[in-house]
Amino acid sequence: NAGVIQTPRHKVTGKGQEATLWCEPISGHSAVFWYRQTIVQGLEFLTYFRNQAPIDDSGMPKERFSAQMPNQSHSTLKIQSTQPQDSAVYLCASSPRTEKNTLYFGAGTRLSVL
Amino acid sequence: AQKVTQTQTSISVMEKTTVTMDCVYETRDSSYFLFWYKQTASGEIVFLIRQDSYKKENATEGHYSLNFQKPKSSIGLIITATQIEDSAVYFCAMSLYGNEKITFGAGTKLTIKP
């Protein structure tokens, strides 16, 4: 069991560029979550999918952030026109059907917007 | 909506002692789930223990146990026989029944001294 895999581990973008973050959940897990972690805001919920369907995106900044889960083996978080305030560690987590509400986190992608 | 508050920013204790970390939560829902997660110095976030609101018995898992006081909306984490490797940031979290979105507290940094 490789755990949740996030790529890249680090990403540096210039202001205004696009960033795409990838997540591969644990095989067999039915839900995928995206969180953002900063010193100031802590762990913020962004969005989650169950069985590939978007369930709750209440934490997503509406204008520039989008998330997709095209198949059960990966999810992407895309940030358009990145801004310095988007700099954070973006964490993906998955949970199994048999243990709903228990999250298994990936190592995160550290996004730095210059 | 739910809210989780951890008022202790940091705690330092001697190795092999017992430590309690506090957490209070807010929700209007009658059914919910409470969790504790640990983030190590490497950034890895790991699930530790959960308490379902309808269960009166405090959850235990290894040297972790919970002090669930529902009338006070409180869920304390107790770690007995602490070890150096227990040094980490501990997050309290909750989700509502029927929604897997998990809301995290700000975290408490625990340092175990030899």
pLDDT tens digits for range A30-61:
999 999 999 999 999 999 999 999 999 999 99
Could you tell me which chain B residue has the CA closest to the CA of A105?
Answer: B45
Report which of A67, A45, A69, A49 is spatially closest to residue A58, judged by C-alpha positions: A45
Does residue A86 register a pLDDT over 90?
A: yes
Give the model's pLDDT for residue A101. 79
Confidence of residue A25 (pLDDT cuts 50, 70, 90): very high
Size of interface A-B (CB pairs under 8 A): 49
Does residue A1 register a pLDDT over 80?
A: no
Could you tell me which chain A residue has the CA closest to the CA of B104?
Answer: A43
CB contact under 8 A, A45 and B35: no
Does residue B108 register a pLDDT over 90?
A: yes
